[in-house]
A and B are shown apart, each in its own frame.
Chain A
Amino acid sequence: MKAAGSMQGKLGLGVALTAVAGAAHALAEPWQLNMTPGVTQTSREVYDLHMWGLYVCIAIGVVVFGAMIVAMFKFRKSKGAVPATWSHNTVAETIWTIVPILILVALAWPATNIMIKMAYTEQSDMTVKITGYQWKWGYDYLNVGEKPYHVHFISRIDPRSDRTRELRSGQDPWAVKDKDYQGVERNTYLLDVDHPLVLPTDTKIRFVVTGDDVIHAWWVPQLGWKQDAIPGIINDDWTNIHEPGIYRGQCAELCGQDHGFMPIVVKAVPKAEFTKWLDEQEALATKADAPAAPAASPTATPSAP
């Protein structure tokens, strides 16, 4: 992303150092095995739940597969094992019906708590509308606090990725690089856009998500959730990003031929910087709109491209 380089110069050293800690989170690493904890409270809780589920499954696996392995070595006919004739054990059967119920409660309990928190979209500081199109994303900044905004733009895959991804383009996906938030060159093939979604840190941001043509899904793994973008339906979600950075995602619902080529980039910047940026955009948007629509409608719905 082009803005990343200039962004970095504006950052204080302290912010830069804080962000380095989260640098590894911003993009998947080669040979990566696991989910990353992400950059919000929610995403960390989701990550912890994922790990809890994984550990529980591993523990059950050790017991069940362990018993199988023991049986396979101990009760071999070639070792002269004589088959038993029993086929029933009430105590064992009761135990392995009750214990799984307890395990499931231990999984469902934290999951329920997180769900209740994730569903609470009220008391947000600002609202952004996300619209999925074949094959690009539309972003509308609706309000910050009480103040309405009219900033609207379309976010498409960056031209370099777009050229490289053509069939037999002859261009090298490994060569598509850009500086990340910390100024480190990283591969951004298919994960970069022309206009990123700029968001403030430490702000409860409510998203309203919809689709214009077919169903898409808006997903930035670092935020900890994805949401289907469905024509005729408006879903809402929220996030609160704690670390400034550039977070990348992709459309996650099959939406046609270029489903794989509608990336999402969230650029989280400190609040003051965000307000400055948004006010600049607002000035541009209202200036552009003024002659065309002197009696602008108060709903300020941006037109689709």
Chain B
Amino acid sequence: MTTHATAHHDDHHDDKPHGFLHRWVYSTNHKDIGTLYLIFSFIMVCIGAAFSGVIRTELMKPGLQFVQPYFFNEMTTMHGLVMIFGAIMPSFVGLANWMIPMMIGAPDMALPRMNNWSFWILPFAFCLLLGTLFVPGGAPAGGWTMYPPLSIQGGDSVAMMVFAIHLMGISSIMGSINIIATILNMRAPGMDLLKMPVFVWSWLITAFLLIAVMPVLAGAVTMLLTDRYFGTSFFNAAGGGDPVMYQHIFWFFGHPEVYIMILPAFGIISEIVPTFSRKPLFGYQAMVYALASIAFLSFIVWGHHMFTVGMPLGGELYFMFATMLIAIPTGVKVFNWVSTMWGGSLTFEAPMLWAIAFIVLFTIGGFSGVMLALVPADFQYQDTYFVVAHFHYVLVTGALFAIIGAIYYWWPKWTGRMYNETWAKVHFWWSAVFVNVLFFPQHFLGLAGMPRRIPDYNVAFADWNFVSTIGAYGMYLTPFMFFFILWHSKKHGAPAAARAWEGAHGLEWTVPSPAPFHTFSTPPVIRDEDLAHGDVSH
């Protein structure tokens, strides 16, 4: 590809809209919309962390010191909803917006106006959701899973929560349609499907998962709405309904949702590890097939969230076996990342540190996942802090660590400036220590018998809860560190080269840094050595 020619060509088109309103509110540019998504999710991470601050502070010592139990339940519910739908998912969409067109040689997303709309729905959705904190009866307090009958005992918040989820679903579905349309239609000539970067593959698969399951969630919460306000009895046993049916429907959404939040992270790690290993990604095709297998399996394992509802033995056996199968493609991914590092020429810049921490800590979350799949053991683990530890390992040290790694990795491309490596390493090591102080003791608490979602506990659980809260307080400094590092880089960072990392491959590194407002107005010529993973034959 002819880097300089493209850059020169793009210069003519680098006419950003003038004025805040035109630039950001009317934006149809994939890079600006990506930025909006990332800023939005940063704000949501901070809000979600504030909710967890209430939770961890109340749990620091036995006895109720700060909040009433009902408000505690509001906090656990809102923490889950905000972190999942407000922080993790939109930040992956932001990364997709920024990177997918640049990685496949497209000038923009396929449907730019819909792109604008799918972002701008989100602030309204979250105003509605966060607004529940101020209505009579308070915010939703039935857990993020919204199990009836409990979830519909709330006040006005029930309707607001349901409509907020509808909006988030519309946003996600439109975003997914856009991503699929972009990937399937706008790849530069020669960018065959099996030459695409793994990050693009991971998002293609994730987008299909989203389209498949967000309507299922919308249906489930709509039934909650009609049960609550219109006298239906979908989930009301007294009216002939079945509370367990909600759980089946919810987890038919919920388990693919878990992979929606981790597959793009797998994609990110598959970009970062080869770059800093200076070696092609090991088993590119196996990685793609593993992603697809995990996505397929995600649809047929939902029952493992509900082993204690009293399913028949045959059903429990089926869900146990199917769930355990997931370990195989997931194991392939982990082995392939390690094999990518093996025989490489490793350096440990910040993105690589986050990626390595991801591999180790996500795998620990995977281990507890395998243990949770064993039904008799799950009868003990279910609804305890062991589960809380498990999903925070896969979601915080998994998804969130990958997102932070991705931001460090592509930041020079976005802004044209390097960040301060020393500060970034401090940020990393601080997070790596405190996140484990925060979540590892929760395994012990769960095994010792502490249920999740309780505001107070027996004194036997006091010590590890105290340790966990100290870890949480350490983690609360990290958004400030991250913000400071990025702000400092934007103002004072050293200029970044087009190929900001020595070992970086992929089309995004062939355009200048910062990436021009419009890239690839004419399609690039694909050469195999430009491909991110380095080797497409396997």
Q: Assuming the A-B contacts A65-B360, A83-B345, A213-B149, are A254 and B458 also in contact, with contact meaning beta carbons closer than 8 angstroms in the complex?
A: no
List chain B residues, Cβ under 8 A from A256: 70, 73, 141, 150, 153
**B459→A174 contact, CB < 8 A:** yes
A226 within 8 A of B: yes
Interface size of A by CB at 8 A reads 101
**B73→A221 contact, CB < 8 A:** no
**A260→B455 contact, CB < 8 A:** yes
B64 within 8 A of A: yes
Interface residues of A in 106-129 (CB under 8 A from B): 107-108, 111-112, 114-116, 118-119
B126 within 8 A of A: no
A183-212 vs B: 1/0 string, CB under 8 Å?
000011111000000000000000001000
Give A165 to B456 CA distance when docked, in angstroms.
8
Binds A, one of B23-31, B183-191, B325-333: B325-333
Give the tally of cross-chain contacts (CB within 8 A). 314
**B279→A83 contact, CB < 8 A:** yes
Give A292 to B348 CA distance when docked, in angstroms.
80
Highest count of chain B CB atoms <10 Å: which of A88, A174, A250, A251: A88
Partner of A68, one of B149, B338, B376: B338
List chain B residues, Cβ under 8 A from A57: 367-368, 370-371
**B243→A221 contact, CB < 8 A:** no
**A232→B346 contact, CB < 8 A:** no
Binds A, one of B307-315, B413-421, B469-477: B307-315
Q: Assuming the A-B contacts A107-B374, A215-B243, are A169 and B460 also in contact, with contact meaning beta carbons closer than 8 angstroms in the complex?
A: no
**A27→B338 contact, CB < 8 A:** no
Binds A, one of B103-111, B112-120, B155-163, B377-385: B377-385
**A226→B279 contact, CB < 8 A:** no
B142 within 8 A of A: yes
Give A235 to B309 CA distance when docked, in angstroms.
8
Q: Assuming the A-B contacts A187-B458, A228-B310, A232-B238, are A215 and B150 also in contact, with contact meaning beta carbons closer than 8 angstroms in the complex?
A: yes
Q: Assuming the A-B contacts A35-B447, A104-B327, are A29 and B460 also in contact, with contact meaning beta carbons closer than 8 angstroms in the complex?
A: yes
List chain B residues, Cβ under 8 A from A84: 279, 343-344
**B328→A114 contact, CB < 8 A:** no
Q: Which residue of A lies closest to B386 (CB)?
A: A35
**B342→A67 contact, CB < 8 A:** yes
Partner of A167, one of B67, B332, B345, B359: B67
List chain A residues, Cβ under 8 A from B393: none
B339-365 vs A: 1/0 string, CB under 8 Å?
111111111100000001001100110
B452-468 vs A: 1/0 string, CB under 8 Å?
11111111111110000
List chain A residues, Cβ under 8 A from B331: 96-97, 100
Give A33 to B243 CA distance when docked, in angstroms.
35
**B383→A217 contact, CB < 8 A:** yes
Q: Which residue of A lies closest to B77 (CB)?
A: A254
B7 within 8 A of A: no
List chain B residues, Cβ under 8 A from A172: 63
Q: Assuming the A-B contacts A46-B380, A112-B317, A228-B308, are A31 and B463 also in contact, with contact meaning beta carbons closer than 8 angstroms in the complex?
A: yes
Q: Which residue of A lies closest to B285 (CB)?
A: A88
A242 within 8 A of B: no
A272 within 8 A of B: no
**A75→B344 contact, CB < 8 A:** yes
**A100→B328 contact, CB < 8 A:** yes
**A254→B538 contact, CB < 8 A:** no
Q: Which residue of B lies closest to A95 (CB)?
A: B335
Give A165 to B383 CA distance when docked, in angstroms.
22
Give A24 to B484 CA distance when docked, in angstroms.
50
**A251→B444 contact, CB < 8 A:** no
Give A172 to B147 CA distance when docked, in angstroms.
34
**B63→A173 contact, CB < 8 A:** yes
B277-314 vs A: 1/0 string, CB under 8 Å?
11111111010000000000000000000001110010
- Least CB distance from B376 to A in Å reads 4
List chain A residues, Cβ under 8 A from B308: 217, 225-228, 252-253
**A31→B464 contact, CB < 8 A:** yes
**A107→B278 contact, CB < 8 A:** no
List chain A residues, Cβ under 8 A from B453: 254, 259-260
Give A76 to B119 CA distance when docked, in angstroms.
42
List chain A residues, Cβ under 8 A from B356: 68, 72
List chain A residues, Cβ under 8 A from B284: 87
- Least CB distance from B347 to A in Å reads 5
Interface residues of A in 209-266 (CB under 8 A from B): 209, 213-215, 217, 219, 221, 224-228, 230-233, 235-236, 249-261
Give A23 to B178 CA distance when docked, in angstroms.
61
B218 within 8 A of A: no
List chain A residues, Cβ under 8 A from B456: 165, 173, 190, 260-261
Binds B, one of A4-12, A48-56, A140-148, A273-281: A48-56
**A60→B309 contact, CB < 8 A:** no
**A85→B153 contact, CB < 8 A:** no
Highest count of chain A CB atoms <10 Å: which of B65, B241, B310, B348: B310
A64 within 8 A of B: yes
Give A240 to B111 CA distance when docked, in angstroms.
63
Give A101 to B65 CA distance when docked, in angstroms.
49
- Least CB distance from B148 to A in Å reads 8
- Least CB distance from B358 to A in Å reads 12
List chain A residues, Cβ under 8 A from B238: 231-232
List chain B residues, Cβ under 8 A from A96: 331-332, 335
Give A28 to B252 CA distance when docked, in angstroms.
35
Give A114 to B380 CA distance when docked, in angstroms.
13
Interface residues of B in 488-538 (CB under 8 A from A): 503, 533-535, 537-538
Partner of B459, one of A68, A173, A226: A173
B227-246 vs A: 1/0 string, CB under 8 Å?
00000000001100111100
**A224→B379 contact, CB < 8 A:** yes
Give A258 to B278 CA distance when docked, in angstroms.
56
List chain B residues, Cβ under 8 A from A260: 69, 451, 453-457
Partner of B347, one of A78, A85, A116, A119: A78
Q: Which residue of B lies closest to A175 (CB)?
A: B459
Give A33 to B346 CA distance when docked, in angstroms.
36
B404 within 8 A of A: no
Q: Which residue of B lies closest to A45 (CB)?
A: B376
Highest count of chain A CB atoms <10 Å: which of B67, B342, B345, B380: B380
**B324→A108 contact, CB < 8 A:** yes
Q: Assuming the A-B contacts A28-B460, A68-B356, are A101 and B328 also in contact, with contact meaning beta carbons closer than 8 angstroms in the complex?
A: yes
A binding-site residues for B, Cβ under 8 Å: 27-35, 42, 45-46, 49-50, 53-54, 56-57, 60-61, 64-65, 67-68, 71-72, 75-78, 81-89, 92-93, 96-97, 100-101, 104, 107-108, 111-112, 114-116, 118-119, 164-169, 171-174, 187-191, 209, 213-215, 217, 219, 221, 224-228, 230-233, 235-236, 249-261
9 A-B residue pairs with CB within 8 Å: A29-B448, A60-B367, A107-B374, A108-B321, A115-B316, A169-B64, A191-B458, A226-B379, A260-B456
Further contacts, 11 of them, CB under 8 A, given A32-B444, A34-B444, A75-B342: A31-B464, A46-B377, A53-B377, A72-B356, A75-B343, A75-B344, A87-B281, A108-B374, A166-B64, A225-B380, A227-B308
9 A-B pairs closest in CB distance: A232-B237, A260-B454, A235-B310, A84-B343, A57-B367, A88-B538, A87-B280, A32-B448, A28-B460
B binding-site residues for A, Cβ under 8 Å: 62-70, 73, 141-143, 147, 149-150, 153, 237-238, 241-244, 277-284, 286, 308-310, 313, 316-317, 320-321, 324-325, 327-328, 331-332, 334-335, 338-348, 356, 359-360, 363-364, 367-368, 370-371, 374-377, 379-380, 382-384, 444, 447-464, 503, 533-535, 537-538
